[in-house]
Each structure stands twice: as structure tokens, then as C-alpha cells.
Amino acid sequence: MYKEHYVFQTKNSENKPIWRYMDFWKFLNLLESRALYFSNSENLGDNYEGRIPLFILDKMLELDRKQGHTRNKDLNDFLEKTMRKNHLISSWSFADRESFAMWKMYAKDKMGIAIETDLEALKNSFDVTDRFIYIGEINYINDENYYFSTGNMFYPFVTKLDFYHFENEIRCITVTGENEESSNKLVEVDLNILIKKIHISPNAKPEFKKLIDILKKEYKLDFEILYSKVNDSWL
């Protein structure tokens, strides 16, 4: 179920479409499992994911040296050894329109799809699980313009360097318990609530649209099927 938390802010995405770009096989797995895939920070590609930005960590460790303790080092060690493993993430994007860059990065073949939903639907889709799901936008920072607090250790999971600002990321996060698998997890969702529209690859053949329509009926779902408006030979 969705759970509010002050670290997770959604003011910029409240009235915008929310997107998830993927290849067909991931979409088919979503339909079959009726669950979203969550992965921990170590498996997301960005080597700084779920970490205290280095320019901030250097200041924290310098403070340790000046004050003669290791509190900040101990905090960072716990983040590295435990929290980056047990905080699991499902990444989405918010934007008024489709993104060429996101198509190219995550769904560039002729059988790619983009799920379109909205914030309330995303939150409500988790009503079918007992897990706590936190949802919030990424705070993009650089060494000249940033806010980062060590008062709550959710901050490393909603903060990224501004190289990734174009993604307009909003992410869902759940935390595993002591005896749970901590590398990845499938979290049940209500697909009828979650999926508002399916946009299919701009280079998809008509047969692919028919296939999506067949799957829609087979899995008893109700969403609109649209061709992407992006028209670019690089996809």
C-alpha cells in the first residue's frame, strides 16, 4: 500500500502523465505476474545510485576528523553495506508528452511500449499489496546547487546528480525486512488501476498493435492503445 513520508515529494508530478518505457517482454512479464519489478541500488546502472554524493561525503568525513569521531563514516558504511541492498526501486518518469530520449534508452526496438498512468493511479495500484510503497520525485543536484540531509536516510534514494535531470524521474521504493531477498522483488499491483494508456513503438508494425489488443482482452484489462507520436529513424 502507498505510504506517505515527508522525504518523498510529488508536487511537480501531481497533474502530469507518468510514464514507464520498456520492451515487449518486460511488458508481457508485467501482465503475467501482475507485479512490478523492484531492484536495489546495486543493480540500477548508475554507480552513484543510493549513495551520498561524493562532494557531500567529503565534507562529512572532514567534519568527523575535526570533531574526533566516526559518526558520518559509520552512517555511510551502514548505507553502503545494508541500505543500498534493502531499498528496492521501481523507476518512472513524469512529463506532459512522450520523450524521444526515454524511448531510445528503454524501449528502442520495434516492439517497445510506454505505459501511461498518473500519480493517483500509481499510488492506488498498490492497494493490493501489504508492503509499504513510498513514491516521490528525484531531487537533482550538483556541487553548486543542492539540498541534502543526513537526518533521514531515504535522501540518498531520492537524490541524483543533475546529469540525469532529463529523465524527470519519479520512483517507487519499498524496504525489505531482515529475512527477505534484498536484490530484487516483484510487488503486486492492480493493473486495471495502473495502466491508463499503452503507447507502442513508433516503428511498430500493425500486427504489433493487434497483439497488444489481444493481450488486453486476454488479461481482462481496459486501456487505450496508441501509436507513439515520436517519428524518428533512430528508434
Q: Domain limits of the chain?
A: 18-38+88-227
Query: Is residue 229 predicted with pLDDT exceeding 90?
Result: no
Closest CA relative to residue 197, chosen from 103, 83, 121: 121
β-pairing, 197-200 vs 224-227, is parallel
Report pLDDT digits (tens) over 5-61: 999 999 999 999 999 999 999 999 999 999 999 999 888 877 888 899 899 999 999
Q: Is 148 strand, coil or helix?
A: coil
In terms of Cβ atoms closer than 10 Å to its own Cβ (0-12, 13-18, 19+), residue 68 is: exposed
Quick one: pLDDT at residue 109? 74
Quick one: pLDDT at residue 39? 93
Give the amino acid at 228: S
8 Å CB contact between 7 and 155: yes
How far does CA 55 lie from the centroid of its chain?
A: 24
* Residues in contact with 25: Cβ distance below 8 Å, sequence separation at least 6, in sequence order: none
Q: Enter the pTM of the model.
A: 0.92
8 Å CB contact between 91 and 46: no
Q: What are 197's three cell numbers?
A: 494508456
Quick one: pLDDT at residue 182? 75
Report pLDDT digits (tens) over 52-101: 989 999 999 999 999 999 999 999 999 999 999 999 999 999 999 999 98
Q: Is 77 strand, coil or helix?
A: helix
pLDDT level of residue 235 (50, 70, 90 thresholds)? low
Q: Cell numbers 531531487 label which residue?
A: 139
Query: Is residue 115 predicted with pLDDT exceeding 90?
Result: yes
Quick one: pLDDT at residue 234? 62
Task: Give the mean pLDDT of 198-214.
Answer: 91
Q: What are 78's three cell numbers?
A: 551502514
pLDDT level of residue 232 (50, 70, 90 thresholds)? low
Distance CA 140, CA 162 (A): 5
Q: Report the mean per-residue pLDDT for the chain.
A: 92
pLDDT level of residue 203 (50, 70, 90 thresholds)? confident
Q: What are 228's three cell numbers?
A: 507513439
Describe the crossing of helices 71-78 and 54-67 by its angle, rounded to 10 degrees.
140
